[in-house]
């Protein structure tokens, strides 16, 4: 069992080098002050944009200010994530959040002003000032929001309430990352040690059922204890979202979330409907799991243990990186070489250390480079996580390199495609290399569980969000009991009758950070379906799809996400990509059952 290293024990090459953003805190403070000053200057444009030239001045200064602000904020955020207990870092981030509010206040007048212009006036500004063409798509796209932008006074008021609206999410973040203490578990030598998240992810896969049960009970214990506090923060987050949707005249909170990317509501509903129609394979797999484990009652702590024993292996970080490079070879030399260089450039923070933020992510900072956070555990899951986050990092790298700042960042809707294509390439590589039938079964089992987690679990979460937001929209109460009932019912529906529900199961909602980013998780499932289509075509040697995919990685947000994906041959407005992905799932379960 891994015991946490102190940060000092981790090799330098496995830690972020944040001096790539700022050499020291003095440089950070200087940029902080310059953003404050620029925000004041931008306020002076309120009421004074009268032609194309002044509009261009305002927009280019605003872009410059936001670029510097991003550096300021990200630097503080990354420091906090390395140790959420560190008060000095927390103070920097608090300053960053306050600065965000000032920045929004200074520029909140612009949207109502733009909406007040007739289209022919904007056309005239464009013809007067050729440099405005850089902002053209954004300016005309803003007109889509005409019905959802409030008066100048109300927009200012809403921007001042920014911190208030984000309070539930920030509160849950502190509870989940800094305050929660899991109970103790017994290590291999019979000693009691405090459970960590990284340890839990290993123990819940342990072949010893008692160990799994002990870890499961210990892990859920603080969430059950704090159920009412967490229900209060989640309820507030949902109600805030519903309130903002109403204030901005959207038909529903769901449609507000989908509006920016022009995602039709049908894409969300079609995802849930198609998944529900195909739950029989998922139920078959749950029954298969129960049969193979030979248990009278299949429990939630039995859902993650590999069904093939004796082949679980330790994979060091070095080995994991080398395997990933081999697996990504179908994406071409430039792709693989760039991934190789990231390892030696300290773009990746590798190890779990005390106080470090849990999980993994990639953050692509324009003009600097991607930053990848891991909590690497030297196992197969960690190899997949590394490969997943590298997909995001390469998406950031290519888009930042090939797009101007205004279109460099990609939308969340397409973000999961790049990460999942990498994972699909990895599993196929591992299956191709597997000489031993037991290891092949182990990998199939791993891919099925991966599919379950990235597709079915996320669709279940998406349905939970839809139901809870609809209750709030109808003025129904949201509390621990409501959340428990909905979550338990969905868990039963998705897993089938072979699973015996644990008392803790219904509290699953209380540990999900993504619920504080409304209607986010469904994109894991749509991205997964799209990625399976693209990766399978690339593996069959389809050069057109490969070229279209590499162009997609370089596209940032130069078009709406649905349109960008259509260029790779995936149309998510139809059930076809979802059904194709579920066909792959059925084949995997069939092969696994046969073996």
Structure tokens at 420: 């999942």
Sequence-separated (6 or more) residues with CB below 8 Å from residue 254: 265, 268, 466, 469, 519
Q: Which two tokens stand for residue 88?
A: 């000095």
Question: For the residues of 540-565, what is the DSSP string, one character each?
Answer: TT-HHHHHHHHHHHT-TTSS-HHHHH
Burial label, 221 (beta-carbon count in 10 A; 0-12, 13-18, 19+): middle
Phi, psi for residue 129 in degrees, rounded to 5: -125, 95
Q: How far apart are CA 334 and CA 497, in angstroms?
A: 49
Contacts of 167 (CB under 8 A, 6+ apart): 236
Of 174, 165, 6, the closest CA to residue 93 belongs to: 174
CB atoms near residue 354 (< 10 Å): 12
Strand partners, 363: 371
Cα 80 from Cα 169, distance rounded (Å): 16
Which of the 8 DSSP states describes residue 515? G
Active site residue 389: yes
Q: Which neighbouring-strand residues pair with 186? A: 192
Kindly write down the DSSP assignment for every residue of 461-522, as one continuous string. Answer: HHHHHHHHHHHHHTT---SHHHHHHHHHHHHHHHH-TTBPPPGGGGGGGGG-GGGGSTT-TH
Choice among 105, 155, 389, 502 that is catalytic: 389
Token duo for residue 469: 């937001």
Task: Report how far residue 304's alpha carbon sits from residue 251's, in angstroms, rounded to the nearest whole number.
Answer: 40
Residues 274 and 582 sit within 8 Å (Cβ to Cβ) = yes
The 10 Å Cβ neighbour count of residue 14 is 16
Query: Which distant-in-sequence residues (6+ apart) come within 8 Å of 403 by Cβ?
Result: 554, 555, 556, 557, 558
DSSP track, 421-455: HHHHHHHHHHHHH--SHHHHHHHHHHHHHHHIIII
The rounded distance, in Å, linking the Cα atoms of 524 and 514 is 11
Q: Do strands 192-194 and 361-364 pair parallel, antiparallel, or not at all (unpaired)?
A: unpaired
212 token code pair: 């799994």
CA 108 to chain CA centroid, nearest Å: 27
> What does the block give as tokens for 374?
């891991």
Q: 322 — alpha (psi -120 to 50), left (phi > 0) or beta?
A: alpha
Question: Residue 242 corresponds to which tokens in the numbers above?
Answer: 């519903």
Give whole-number Cα distances, 388 to 15, 199, 383, 418, 570, in Å. Answer: 19, 21, 9, 8, 20
**Strands, sheet with 361-364, edge to edge from the N-terminal-most edge strand:** 348-351, 370-376, 361-364
Residues 16, 356: contact at Cβ < 8 Å?
no
Question: Is 170 within 8 Å of 104 (Cβ atoms)?
Answer: no
Identify the residue whose tokens are 């003025």: 475
Local structure of 391: helix, strand or coil: helix
The residues that are catalytic are: 389
């Amino acid at each position: 069992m891994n015991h946490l290293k102190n940060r000092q024990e981790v090799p330098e090459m496995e830690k972020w080098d944040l001096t790539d953003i700022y050499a020291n805190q003095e440089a950070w403070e200087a940029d902080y002050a310059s953003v404050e000053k620029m925000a004041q200057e931008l306020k002076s444009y309120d009421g004074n944009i009268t032609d194309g030239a002044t509009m261009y001045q305002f927009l280019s200064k605003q872009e410059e200010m936001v670029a510097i602000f991003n550096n300021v904020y990200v630097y503080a955020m990354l420091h906090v994530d390395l140790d959420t207990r560190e008060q000095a870092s927390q103070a920097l981030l608090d300053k960053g959040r306050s600065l965000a509010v000032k920045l929004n206040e200074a520029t909140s007048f612009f949207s109502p002003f733009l909406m007040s212009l007739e289209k022919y006036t904007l056309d005239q500004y464009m013809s007067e000032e050729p440099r405005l063409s850089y902002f053209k798509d954004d300016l005309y796209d803003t007109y889509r929001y005409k019905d959802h932008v409030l008066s100048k006074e109300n927009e200012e008021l809403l921007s001042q309430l920014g911190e208030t609206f984000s309070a539930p999410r920030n509160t849950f973040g502190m509870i989940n990352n800094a305050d929660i203490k899991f109970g103790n578990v017994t290590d291999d030598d019979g000693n009691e040690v405090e459970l960590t998240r990284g340890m839990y992810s290993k123990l819940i896969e342990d072949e010893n059922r008692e160990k799994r049960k002990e870890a499961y009970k210990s892990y859920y214990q603080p969430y059950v204890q704090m159920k009412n506090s967490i229900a209060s923060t989640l309820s507030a987050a949902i109600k805030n979202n519903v309130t903002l949707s109403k204030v901005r005249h959207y038909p529903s909170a769901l449609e507000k979330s989908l509006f920016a990317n022009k995602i039709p509501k049908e894409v969300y509903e079609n995802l849930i409907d198609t998944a529900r129609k195909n739950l029989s394979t998922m139920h078959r797999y749950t029954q298969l799991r129960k049969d193979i484990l030979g248990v009278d009652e299949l429990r939630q702590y039995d859902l993650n243990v590999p069904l093939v024993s004796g082949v679980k292996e330790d994979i060091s970080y070095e080995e994991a990186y080398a395997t990933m490079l081999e697996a990504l070879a179908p994406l071409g030399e430039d792709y693989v070489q760039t991934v190789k260089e990231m390892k030696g450039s300290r773009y990746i923070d590798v190890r779990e250390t005390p106080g470090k933020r849990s999980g993994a992510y990639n953050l692509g900072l324009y003009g600097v480079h991607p930053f990848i956070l891991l909590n690497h555990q030297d196992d197969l899951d960690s190899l997949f996580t590394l490969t997943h986050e590298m997909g995001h990092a390469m998406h950031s790298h290519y888009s930042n390199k090939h797009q101007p700042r205004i279109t460099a960042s990609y939308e969340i809707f397409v973000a999961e495609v790049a990460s999942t294509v990498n994972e699909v390439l990895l599993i196929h590589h591992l299956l191709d290399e597997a000489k031993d039938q037991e290891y092949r079964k182990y990998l199939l089992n791993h891919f099925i569980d991966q599919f379950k987690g990235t597709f079915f679990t996320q669709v279940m979460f998406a349905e939970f969000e839809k139901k809870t937001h609809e209750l709030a929209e109808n003025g129904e109460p949201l509390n621990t009991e409501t959340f428990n009932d909905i979550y338990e019912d969905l868990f039963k529906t998705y897993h089938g009758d072979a699973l015996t529900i644990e008392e803790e199961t219904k509290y699953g909602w209380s540990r999900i950070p993504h619920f504080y980013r409304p209607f986010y998780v469904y994109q894991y499932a749509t991205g997964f379906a799209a990625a399976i289509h693209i990766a399978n075509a690339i593996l069959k040697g389809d050069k057109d799809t490969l070229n279209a995919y590499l162009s997609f990685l370089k596209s940032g947000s130069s078009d709406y996400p649905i349109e960008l994906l259509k260029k790779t041959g995936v149309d998510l407005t139809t059930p076809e990509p979802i059904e194709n992905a579920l066909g792959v799932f059925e084949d995997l379960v069939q092969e696994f059952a046969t073996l």
